[in-house]
Amino acid sequence: MSSELAPQPSSRGARAAVFAQLSGAGRSEQVAQRLIDAILLGVLTPGDRLPSEAELAQRFGVALVTAREALSAMRDAGLVETRRGREGGSFVLPVSRAPEALLWARLRGLARVDIEDSAVYFGVLSAGCTERAAEMAPDEEAARLRLWLDNADFAQVSDAARNAGGFYLEIAVISQSPRLVREQIRLQAEFGSLLWLGVADENLRRNIYGQNVKIAEAISAHDPEQARALVRGQLSELSSWLLAAKERIEQ
Amino acid sequence: MAMRIRDNVPDAERGRECSAAIGALFTGVFTMLDSWRTAVEKAGADNATTRIDSLVYSLVEPELTVADPLVIGAGFIAAPETALSQALHFAWWLGPLSDNPLLGTTTKPSRLDLASREYAEYLRDFRAFEWYQVPETTRAGHITGPYVDHLCTCDYILTLTVPVGVGGSMRGVVGADILVRRLEPEVLPLLRATESAIALVSSSGRVILSVSPTLRVGSIVSEASAASRGWDAVPCPGTQLKLLMGENI
Tell me the CATH number at A43.
1.10.10.10
Q: Which residue has the higher pLDDT, B227 or A97?
A: B227
Residue B65: pLDDT band with limits 50, 70, 90: very high
Option in A140, A165, A172 nearest B122 (CB): A165
Residue B1: pLDDT band with limits 50, 70, 90: very low
Residue A2: pLDDT band with limits 50, 70, 90: very low
B156 shares contact with chain A (CB less than 8 Å): yes
Nearest CA in chain B to A136: B219
- Per-residue model confidence as pLDDT tens digits over B171-204: 999 999 999 999 999 999 999 999 999 999 999 9
Chain A contact probe: residue of B113, B148, B159 with most A CBs at under 10 A: B148
Q: What is the pLDDT of residue A164?
A: 94
3-state helix, strand, coil in chain A (%, to 5): 70, 5, 25
Instruction: Identify the domain boundary among A63, A96, A129.
Output: A96
Task: Calculate the average pLDDT of chain A.
Answer: 83
Which range of residues forms the domain containing residue A132? 103-250
**Residues A92 and A114 occupy one common structural domain:** no
Most confident of A62-71, B109-118, B187-196: B187-196
Mean pLDDT of the B214-237 span: 94
Q: Which residues, in sequence order, are CB contacts of A54 under 8 Å at separation 6+?
A: A64, A67
Nearest to A240 by CA among A212, A209, A207, A210: A207
A250 shares contact with chain B (CB less than 8 Å): no
Mean pLDDT of the A137-154 span: 93
Could you tell me if residue A34 is inside a domain? yes
Mean pLDDT of the B153-169 span: 92
Rounded CA gap, A13 and A15, in Å? 5
pLDDT at A3 over 50: no
User: Using an 8 Å Cβ cutoff, are B94 and B64 in contact?
Assistant: yes
Mean pLDDT of the B5-20 span: 88
How many domains does chain A contain in total?
A: 2
**According to the CATH classification, is domain B24-180 in 3.30.450.20?**
yes
- The ipTM, to two decimals, is 0.86
Could you tell me if residue A4 is inside a domain? no
- Per-residue model confidence as pLDDT tens digits over A225-237: 999 999 999 999 9
Nearest CA in chain B to A187: B119
pLDDT at B222 over 90: yes
Mean pLDDT of the A180-190 span: 89
Q: What is the pLDDT of residue B35?
A: 98
Classify the phi-psi angles of B231: left when phi > 0, otherwise alpha if psi is within -120 to 50, otherwise beta. beta
Q: Which amino acid is at A30?
A: Q
**Residues A57 and A140 occupy one common structural domain:** no
**Residues A59 and A162 occupy one common structural domain:** no
B115 shares contact with chain A (CB less than 8 Å): no
Q: What is the pLDDT of residue B213?
A: 92
Q: What is the pLDDT of residue A192?
A: 87
User: Using an 8 Å Cβ cutoff, are B185 and B90 in contact?
Assistant: no
**Residues A92 and A107 occupy one common structural domain:** no
Mean pLDDT of the A146-162 span: 89
At residue A224, φ and ψ (nearest 5 deg) are -60, -35
**Residues A64 and A114 occupy one common structural domain:** no
Q: What is the pLDDT of residue A208?
A: 96
Around Cβ B158, how many Cβ atoms within 10 Å?
A: 24
Query: How distant is the Cα of B60 from the closest Cα of chain A, in angstroms?
Result: 25
Nearest CA in chain B to A5: B102
pLDDT at A105 over 70: yes
* In chain B, domain spans: 24-180, 183-245
Of A24-38, A192-206, B29-43, the range with the lowest mean pLDDT is A24-38
Tell me if B119 and A181 make a contact (CB, 8 A cut-off): no
Could you tell me if residue A134 is inside a domain? yes
Q: Which residue has the higher pLDDT, B48 or B174?
A: B174
Could you tell me if residue A202 is inside a domain? yes
User: Using an 8 Å Cβ cutoff, are B74 and B60 in contact?
Assistant: yes
Option in B116, B148, B220 nearest A4 (CB): B116
Q: What is the pLDDT of residue B64?
A: 96
**Residues A115 and A86 occupy one common structural domain:** no
**Residues A44 and A116 occupy one common structural domain:** no
Q: What is the pLDDT of residue A41?
A: 62
Q: What is the pLDDT of residue B249?
A: 65
DSSP 3-state of B50: helix
Tell me if A186 and B101 make a contact (CB, 8 A cut-off): yes
Residue A6: pLDDT band with limits 50, 70, 90: very low
pLDDT at B121 over 50: yes
Query: How distant is the Cα of A242 from the closest Cα of chain B, in angstroms?
Result: 22
Instruction: Identify the domain boundary among A74, A96, A118.
Output: A96
Could you tell me if residue A6 is inside a domain? no
**Residues A137 and A24 occupy one common structural domain:** no
Could you tell me if residue A23 is inside a domain? yes
Residue A1: pLDDT band with limits 50, 70, 90: very low
Most confident of A13-17, A76-80, A175-179: A175-179
Query: How distant is the Cα of B207 from the closest Cα of chain A, in angstroms?
Result: 11
Residues 61-100 of B with CB under 8 A from A: none
**Residues A158 and A177 occupy one common structural domain:** yes
Instruction: Identify the domain boundary among A66, A96, A126.
Output: A96
**Residues A142 and A24 occupy one common structural domain:** no
At residue B173, φ and ψ (nearest 5 deg) are -135, 145
Which residues of chain B are within 8 Å of residue A188 when distances are taken between CB atoms? 119
pLDDT at A179 over 90: yes
Query: How distant is the Cα of B147 from the closest Cα of chain A, in angstroms?
Result: 6
Mean pLDDT of the A207-223 span: 97
Mean pLDDT of the A153-159 span: 86
Q: Which residue has the higher pLDDT, B133 or A80?
A: B133
**Residues A72 and A116 occupy one common structural domain:** no
Residue B46: pLDDT band with limits 50, 70, 90: low
Q: Which residue has the higher pLDDT, B236 or B168?
A: B236
Paired residues of B164 in beta bridges: B172
Could you tell me if residue A1 is inside a domain? no
Interaxial angle between packed helices A157-174 and A112-136, expressed in degrees from 0 to 180 and rounded to the nearest 10: 50
